[in-house]
Structure 1
Amino acid sequence: MNLQFNTNEKGNLEIGGVDALELAQEYGTPLYVLDEMRIRDNYQRVEQAFSSEYSDFKIFYAAKANTNLAVMRILEQEGSGIDAVSPGEIYTALLAGFEPERILFTGNNVTSEELQFALDSGVRINLDSVSMLERLAGLDNAEGTKISFRVNPMVGAGHHDHCITGGELSKFGVMEQEAVDVYKKAKSLGFEPVGIHTHIGSGILDPEPFKLAVKVLMDIAGRVHQEAGVEFEFIDFGGGLGIPYTPEEPVLNIKQFASEIVALYKDKLSEYGIDSPTMCIEPGRYIVGDAGYLLTRVNTVKQSYRKFIGVDAGFNTLLRPTMYDSYHHILVVDKPTAQPSQNVDVAGNICESGDLFARNRPLPNIIEGDVLSIMNAGAYSFSMSSQYNSRPLPAEVIVQEGKVDVIRERETYADLLSKQNLPLRFFK
């Protein structure tokens, strides 16, 4: 079983030296909990695995996984860069202390106003289409800007169809066959193209698709270098490193993964006579996924046509099971090692039939008032959350060596309406 967790002397689930049951009692539920040291450890594991094989290596954290300022600040301290996909993520990264040159903006279907924001912010701009290139060329102070392109290498991988971002069905990137011409056009428009980028999907545990994408992108980069005369400052292979969600899934051997990827990278650099550009990857889930927990209290045990365990969280707090049919392991906080004694459905409190965290899941005996921990909830939980059904969003806390800090306040009912305006004519 690959799922790892700690317990304290009471037998309760412990997160960062803090009793999870006490967290639920003090801060209420639903509650997001982040383990600071786990985030740091995950980052350092990736950084060390790759930099030991290739010294000019850089991580750009995929901010869309979790944009809490505390998380961003931790990664700024660790030396990470930021993979930003929106102006909002650029704004957040700058506020967290990242210098503009440590931020790579890779948007898709962005407006000209968003491009201008990125340009004015001084961040690196990674273009997704010819349209973006042409519109960027028409903006103020664009000439001479260093840019890169996202290329679709016709290789895709991921844990769900919606997470595969390469191949003929993908909306992302310029086509492989137009890459050379796009770089030539960029130079003719007065830009300085210095990078190339791809991203094939997320939740990848098998290194083979990633290795294939590296090979294909390096072949494209080789042609761009030789035919368009581009000297690359960086080559970015995107993110997608997966974590095991089910107890049976394997843990990605990051040292072996890094060794195989870097060896292929070096071979291709030599084959095409490319100098030694910075090698970049963009992990998000791998860094924060298993560092997060969603604590939720059981409010209803209902024997209907099936047995339902009803909780006070819903897909507005963790969308992945509903959106991707994703598995998240569930523990009872005060008996995390208890053996299953029943098969139940764990249902949320949203008025939708798809609001289920688990279907027919083997779990121990559960009573109303129990607190459950939904594991591996650090990535794509709050960042995909909503106020659907007019439910205020939960609080977030971060724990480290027994210390707890609130890093996002729980919303109130008033927060639901804070940006609404009722026209005066409705009062006449």
Structure 2
Amino acid sequence: MDLNIKVNDKNHLDIGGADAVDIAEEFGTPTYVIDENRIRENYNKFYSTFSKYYPDFKVFYACKANTNLAVMKILESEGCCIDAVSPGEVYTSRMLGFSGDRILFTGNNITNEELKFVHDQGAVLNIDSVSALKRLAKMVDPEGLKISFRVNPMVGAGHHDHCITGGVMSKFGIMDNEAVEVYTMAKDLGFNPIGMHSHIGSGILDPEPFKLAIESTMDIAGKVHQEAGIDFEFVDFGGGVGVPYTPEEKLLDLDKFAEVNVGLFKEKLEEFDMGNPTMYLEPGRYLVADASVLLVTVNSVKQSYRKFIGVDAGFHTLLRPAMYDSYHHIVDASKMDAPMTQEVDIAGNVCESGDLFARDRPMPDVEEGDVLGILNAGAYGFTMSSNYNSRPLAAEVLVTDGKCEVVRERQTFEDLYAQQRVPPHLE
């Protein structure tokens, strides 16, 4: 089992050296608990593995996975760069000390105001469409401005259809067969195109699609280099490297993954005489998923037509099971050594039939008041949460060498309506 599960001498779940039950008692539930050291370990393993095979290598954290300020500051301190997909992510990154050249902005369906804002923040613009390119040229001085383009490598992969971002059904990027024309257009407008980016999907544990994407992207880049005269400073291969969510899944052999894909990258550089551009990769999930656990409390054990374990969180807290039918391993953090005795449904507190964290899940004799740990909750967990059913957002706690600190206060009822107004005629 490769799920980063640790147990302390009380038979409670251990998170970064802290007792999960103690955390729940002190800070309440639902609470996302973040292990700082695990994030650092994940980043350093990823960076060192790839840079071993290609030293001119940079990690761009896909921060849509988790934009908690503490998480991003941890990665900033390690030297990580940022893959941003919204002006808000650019703003957050700049506020935390990321310089503009450490931020690659890849937007889609972006407004003129957003284009101008990102440009003014100094981030590198990764253009998604001809429309955005032409509009940008009218708003800023294009002369010498370094930009990049997202191309569709016609390869898609991911753990769910909604996470596949390449291929004929994808809304993202310029078409592979128009790349030469678009890069030439950018040069004619006065821009300095220095990069190419592609993205095939998220949650990838099979190395084969990634290999196909590198081959396809490099063929496109090679053609652009030769026919449009572009000397690339970087080539960016997006597509989130996956992590095990189920007990049966195995960790990706990262070293083999890096060796094969970097080897192919270097072969293509030589084939097209492209020199030695920097290689970018954009892990999001890999860096943060297994560094967080969502702690919830059992408030109801209900024997109906099925047996339901009801908890004090729902899909407004963790959307992935309802949206993607995603599996998250769930443990009884209060008694980690208890044997599995039953199969139950673990249900949330949202007024929706689809608000379930698990169906027919093997669990021990769970009791009301037990603390459950929903694992691998660090990627697309809090960042996708909402106030549906007028539920306040959960708290977030950072654990550093066993010491806990609140890094996001739990919302109050007052917070729910802080930005709303009742017009005078309705008073």
For the criterion TM > 0.5, the same-fold answer is yes
**In structure 2, how many angstroms separate the alpha carbons of the residues matched to 1:251 and 1:330?**
18
The one-letter code matched in structure 2 to 1:241 is V
Summarize deviations over 1:50-93 as a string: whole Å, max 9, x none. Answer: 00000100000000000011011000000000000000000010
- Counterpart position of 1:32: 32
- Counterpart position of 1:308: 308
Q: Give me the CA root mean square deviation.
A: 0.7
What is the CA distance between 1:426 and its match in structure 2?
1.0
**In structure 1, how many angstroms separate the alpha carbons of the residues matched to 2:411 and 2:63?**
22
Question: Equivalent residues in 2 for 1:192-203 (5 A)?
Answer: 192-203=192-203
Summarize deviations over 1:181-213 as a string: whole Å, max 9, x none. Answer: 000000011100000000100110010000000
- Counterpart position of 1:140: 140
- Counterpart position of 2:75: 75
What is the CA distance between 1:402 and its match in structure 2?
1.3
The one-letter code matched in structure 1 to 2:113 is E
The one-letter code matched in structure 1 to 2:82 is I
- Counterpart position of 2:330: 330
**In structure 2, how many angstroms separate the alpha carbons of the residues matched to 1:3 and 1:104?**
31
**In structure 2, how many angstroms separate the alpha carbons of the residues matched to 1:96 and 1:111?**
24
**2:260 is the alignment partner of 1:257:** no
Question: Equivalent residues in 2 for 1:7-406 (5 A)?
Answer: 7-406=7-406
SS state at 2:140 partner: coil
**In structure 2, how many angstroms separate the alpha carbons of the residues matched to 1:378 and 1:353?**
25
**In structure 2, how many angstroms separate the alpha carbons of the residues matched to 1:145 and 1:406?**
41
What is the CA distance between 1:339 and its match in structure 2?
2.3
Summarize deviations over 1:287-340 as a string: whole Å, max 9, x none. Answer: 000001000000011111100000001001100000000000000012123221
Summarize deviations over 1:324-378 as a string: whole Å, max 9, x none. Answer: 0000000001212322110100000001111000011111111111110000000
Confirm or deny: 8 A CA contact 1:289 1:378 kept in the other structure: yes
SS state at 1:344 partner: strand
Summarize deviations over 1:125-158 as a string: whole Å, max 9, x none. Answer: 0001111111111113343210010000110000
**In structure 2, how many angstroms separate the alpha carbons of the residues matched to 1:38 and 1:3?**
12
Confirm or deny: 8 A CA contact 1:5 1:13 kept in the other structure: yes
**In structure 2, how many angstroms separate the alpha carbons of the residues matched to 1:26 and 1:109?**
44
Confirm or deny: 8 A CA contact 2:94 2:100 kept in the other structure: yes
**In structure 1, how many angstroms separate the alpha carbons of the residues matched to 2:90 and 2:400?**
27
The one-letter code matched in structure 2 to 1:112 is N
The one-letter code matched in structure 1 to 2:369 is G
SS state at 1:174 partner: coil
The one-letter code matched in structure 1 to 2:252 is L
Confirm or deny: 8 A CA contact 1:137 1:143 kept in the other structure: no
Confirm or deny: 8 A CA contact 2:201 2:239 kept in the other structure: yes
SS state at 2:257 partner: helix
The one-letter code matched in structure 2 to 1:33 is V
SS state at 1:198 partner: strand
The one-letter code matched in structure 1 to 2:331 is L
SS state at 1:126 partner: strand
What is the CA distance between 1:109 and its match in structure 2?
0.5
**In structure 2, how many angstroms separate the alpha carbons of the residues matched to 1:20 and 1:313?**
16
What is the CA distance between 1:278 and its match in structure 2?
0.4
SS state at 1:147 partner: strand
**In structure 2, how many angstroms separate the alpha carbons of the residues matched to 1:291 and 1:205?**
18
What is the CA distance between 1:7 and its match in structure 2?
1.2
Summarize deviations over 1:28-53 as a string: whole Å, max 9, x none. Answer: 00000000000000000100000000
Confirm or deny: 8 A CA contact 1:296 1:313 kept in the other structure: yes
**In structure 2, how many angstroms separate the alpha carbons of the residues matched to 1:163 and 1:283?**
14
Confirm or deny: 8 A CA contact 2:300 2:310 kept in the other structure: yes
State the identity as a percent: 64
**In structure 1, how many angstroms separate the alpha carbons of the residues matched to 2:61 and 2:228?**
30
Summarize deviations over 1:247-279 as a string: whole Å, max 9, x none. Answer: 001211111100111100000000000010000
The one-letter code matched in structure 2 to 1:422 is V
67-76 or 2-11, larger mean C-alpha shift: 2-11
**In structure 2, how many angstroms separate the alpha carbons of the residues matched to 1:248 and 1:201?**
22
Count residues with an aligned counterpart: 427
User: TM-score scaled by structure 2?
Assistant: 0.99
287-296 or 337-346, larger mean C-alpha shift: 337-346
SS state at 2:151 partner: strand
**In structure 1, how many angstroms separate the alpha carbons of the residues matched to 2:363 and 2:353?**
21
Any stretches of 5+ residues in structure 1 without a counterpart? none
Confirm or deny: 8 A CA contact 1:100 1:122 kept in the other structure: yes
**In structure 1, how many angstroms separate the alpha carbons of the residues matched to 2:135 and 2:380?**
31
User: TM-score scaled by structure 1?
Assistant: 0.99
The one-letter code matched in structure 2 to 1:378 is G
What is the CA distance between 1:405 and its match in structure 2?
1.1
**In structure 2, how many angstroms separate the alpha carbons of the residues matched to 1:210 and 1:9?**
42
**In structure 2, how many angstroms separate the alpha carbons of the residues matched to 1:341 and 1:49?**
41
**In structure 1, how many angstroms separate the alpha carbons of the residues matched to 2:164 and 2:215?**
18
SS state at 2:54 partner: coil
Confirm or deny: 8 A CA contact 1:396 1:407 kept in the other structure: yes
Confirm or deny: 8 A CA contact 1:119 1:142 kept in the other structure: no
**2:6 is the alignment partner of 1:6:** yes
